[in-house]
Amino acid sequence: MVALARKTLIYEWRRFLPAMLAVGFAGLLQLLQIALVLGIFGSTSLYITGSSADVWIGYPGTQSVGSGRTIDADVESHVLMDPAVQRVEPYIWIDGDWRGPTETGGVSVFVSGIDPRPDGLMFSKALAPDLRTRLAEPGAVVVDRSVLDQLGVDIGHTATINGHQVRVVGISSGLRALGGVNVLCSLDTARQLNDDPTDSGPTYLVAKLRDPTQADAVAARLRGDTAFGPYTTWSASDFASISVRYWLFDTGAGAGVLFLAGIVFLVGAVITSQTLIAAVNGSVREYATLNALGVGVGALRKVVLEQAFWVGALGLLGASALGILLMMLARSQDVPVVLNLPAALACIILVMGLAAVSGLAAMRALRRADPATLLR
Amino acid sequence: MIHPVTATEPMRTPALQADGICKAFVSGHQRTQVLDGLTLNIDAGELTLISGPSGCGKSTLLAVLSGLQKVDSGRVQALGSELGQLDLRALERFRLQHTGFVFQGFNLFPALSAFEQVELPLNHMGLSRDEARRRARSSLEEVGLAHRMRLRPSELSGGEKQRVAIARALAKEPELLFADEPTSALDAANGQMIIDILHRIARTHGTTVLCVSHDPRLVVHADRVLAMEDGRILSDQRPHASLIDNKEIPS
Ligand SMILES: Nc1ncnc2c1ncn2[C@@H]1O[C@H](COP(=O)(O)OP(=O)(O)O)[C@@H](O)[C@H]1O
Ligand SMILES: [Mg+2]
């Protein structure tokens, strides 16, 4: 079989280049957009995904980790009575006002008070064990590498949060927050930093189960009781997706992503289909000759579709190579980018869908390949 | 398959039969009657030339006889099949099995070598790969391009390109070969070579070759010459046969 589609693509690559570039850029744009959104909004559930708790207990109606309210401390003993629960640990979230030693002005910080024991649940996956134990010292805090300039400090420096002095004892990485700066300290330090005397209890209780797969069932079981004031429970994965969904949709970011995806698809498809149509028009007399010789219209359509497929595949290849490079660059600059399998698949589907739609549009141009027009 | 045909052979059934065919084109308010009740038989195994001035309907007649265009009225029979009865798919199949075409433009794919141009249509005929390649090679040899098989159209001269186009049609081993102004894009020497090849194909393969041209120089190479004007056949001559065979058709 003579590979007409491929040979033409190679021989006339200049003609197909705009289509490949359009497909490639559409793919790249989509890839980076998804990676950025996942990276940025993924950081809103970092508190959950970076910890090893299976069940979270917090104030009813809480939509994201940062918007919790205190619950009654006695809930802890109630939770511990459940035989499935192995351990429970409080987690305190305080919004604070940071004043650095240099002129940085006030910086809004999210203080996370956690259990500093080496086997503590909170941030067990995001915080190195030696950093965690250093938090046990009163007034000790850990901040993220990416915000050192913003906070105007380095390791060993002191600053104040809500007017109380703290000292930076360690620097973490990958603990970026959205709309503020994460500061980690021990539960005791967090209680001291809290100006509001009315909230005495923890913001959350996090629990580790003997069998993590039971998270949903245990969360549901613990939810019923109201003897200790208002509280509710989530499995960790539920709470993480609630948190991400809140940011994606209630902030309009999700709509923005879909909107941009639509625009990218549209523009890409217009350029790609126009290029493919021009390529078909350029060979329309040859196609018509083949049809005169009895080669069916279906076979000619397959040639055009195959060209569209190769344009899509090559564009995708270029986009992937460039995308990986750019993602590596972003990572090295602490720009939060995350790509998971569903997101990568979504990109591939978008790009190949774009190529397919363009190929179908170009197939219509074959209607001009009427062999009767060759006889004049 | 050598099948020499003499002009006087009595038991010949026509390869192509047109019976009272009419064809008109309407563009805007204007209606052009291109073919007006034309009746004609084309005999098998010879080179028939339809000559006439530009715009007289030669190409339209060729399109109708080869099943590329439908007639308004009248009947066209090719190799015993009534073309008017066939739908688009069946016409494609008929053309695939029985016909070859050579056009004024060479219509070669820029990306393919001469060999691939010829092999490509054969791929769709259900031939084995080896058979397709064997046929492509022998056709190119037959038109004298054995040494140019690997070249792309951009590396071939006009005459060579038209020979590739002929080889592409010939490799299908068709019973019917249609050529529309095959020499008009070429100089005299190359045109001469093309018509010689077409004539030889008719003689050695027994192919019915129907060639349309306004070029009067081709007349001497044809077995039979039909002169056409304004959608009608004016004369029907056999240049090489005895004078008795030549008859004028009253218009
Ligand atoms: N598709 C068409 N639409 C309208 N008019 C046409 C079409 N094809 C041919 N014609 C007209 O039919 C006449 C005969 O055309 P054609 O058969 O190509 O002549 P020839 O090949 O003898 O030069 C011309 O006047 C031409 O303008
Ligand atoms: Mg013509």
Does residue B62 belong to any structural domain of this protein? yes
Tokens 């805007």 sit on residue? B28
pLDDT(B130) > 90: yes
State residue A199's pLDDT score: 66
Q: Which of A9-23, A25-39, A89-103, A194-208 has the lowest mean pLDDT?
A: A194-208
In angstroms, what is the C-alpha Rg of chain B? 18
On the 0-12 / 13-18 / 19+ scale of CB atoms within 10 A, A143 is buried
Instruction: Give the distance from residue A283's alpha carbon to the nearest chain B alpha carbon, in angstroms.
Output: 7
Residue B182 lies in a domain: yes
Tell me how far apart the alpha carbons of residues B74 and B21 are, in angstroms, rounded to a whole number.
4
Q: Which of B120, B121, B180 sits opposite A375 (nearest CB)?
A: B180
Q: What is the mean pLDDT of residues A339-352?
A: 89
Residue B200: the pLDDT is: 94
User: For residue B242, what pLDDT is reported?
Assistant: 52
Answer yes or no: is B235 within a domain: yes
The residues that bridge with B23 in the sheet, in sequence order, are: B35
Q: How many domains does chain B have?
A: 1
Q: What percent of chain A has pLDDT over 70?
A: 99
What are the pLDDT digits (tens) for A69-111?
Answer: 999 888 898 899 999 999 999 999 999 999 988 776 788 999 9
Q: In chain B, at which residue ranges do the beta strands (DSSP E only) sit?
A: 14-27, 30-43, 47-51, 73-78, 81-82, 99-102, 176-180, 208-213, 224-229, 232-237, 247-248
Hey, are the CB atoms on B110 and A12 less than 8 Å from each other? yes
Q: How far is the CA of B104 from the centre of ligand 1 (A)?
A: 15
Lookup: tokens for A11? 């021989």
The answer for residues whose C-beta is within 8 angstroms of residue B198's C-beta and 6 or more apart is: B47, B102, B166, B177, B179, B182, B209, B211
The Cα B218–Cα B58 span in angstroms is 15
Structure tokens at A97: 């006002």
3-state DSSP call for residue A323? helix
- Residue B157 has what pLDDT? 96
Q: Of A253-262, A330-339, B117-126, which has the strongest mean pLDDT?
A: B117-126
Q: How far apart are CA A105 and CA A283, in angstroms?
A: 67
Question: Could you tell me the two tokens for A177?
Answer: 């927050």
Average pLDDT estimate for A121-141: 92
Q: Does B197 fall in a domain?
A: yes
Contact yes or no for A303/A276 (Cβ under 8 A): no
Work out the pLDDT band at A340, boundaries 50, 70, 90: confident
User: What residues form DSSP beta bridges with A233?
Assistant: A57
Say what the pLDDT of residue B244 is. Answer: 45
Residue A332 tokens read as 């090295």
Q: Which ligand number lies closest to the CA of residue B64?
A: 1
Which span out of A256-260, A279-283, A337-341 was modeled with the highest average pLDDT?
Answer: A279-283
B107 interaction partners in chain A (CB closer than 8 Å) = 285-286, 288-289, 374
Q: What is the pLDDT of residues B190-205, one digit of tens each?
A: 999 999 999 999 999 9
For A134-185, write each residue's pLDDT tens digit.
999 999 999 998 888 889 899 999 999 999 999 999 999 888 887 789 999 9
The tokens for A229 are 């004031």
For an interface test with A, the pick among B59, B65, B68 (most A C-beta atoms closer than 10 Å) comes out as B68
B111 and A8 in contact by Cβ < 8 A? yes
pLDDT of residue B45: 93
pLDDT at A307: 95
CATH number at residue B167: 3.40.50.300
Nearest protein CA to atom 1 of ligand 1, as residue? B25
* Structure-model confidence comparison of residues A257 and B38, the more confident one: B38
The reported pLDDT for the residue numbered B12 is: 64
Tokens of B127: 């031939």
Query: What residue spans define the domains of chain A?
Result: 4-43+252-374, 90-207
Distance CA A17, CA B88 (A): 35
Are the C-beta atoms of B212 and B195 separated by less than 8 Å? no
B216 lies in a domain? yes
Q: Does residue A273 register a pLDDT over 90?
A: yes
Atom of ligand 1 nearest to the CA of B180: 21
**Predicted TM-score (pTM) above 0.90:** no
| Domain span at B233 | 43-67+87-248
Q: Pick B95 or A39 by higher pLDDT.
A: B95
Structural domain includes residue B21: no
- In A, what residues contact B, Cβ < 8 A? 1-2, 4, 7-8, 10-12, 283, 285-286, 288-297, 299, 371-372, 374-376
Residue B185 Cα to ligand 2 midpoint, Å, equals: 12
**Residue B100 to chain A, least CA–CA distance (Å):** 6
> For helices A215-223 and A236-245, what crossing angle results, to 10°?
80
Residues with CB under 6 A from ligand 1: A 376; B 25, 27, 32, 34, 54-60
Question: Could you read off the pLDDT of A214-235 as tens digits, one per residue?
Answer: 999 999 988 877 777 889 999 9
Return d(Cα A332, Cα A368) in angstroms, integer.
53
Using the atom order of ligand 1, give the atom closest to the CA of residue A373.
1
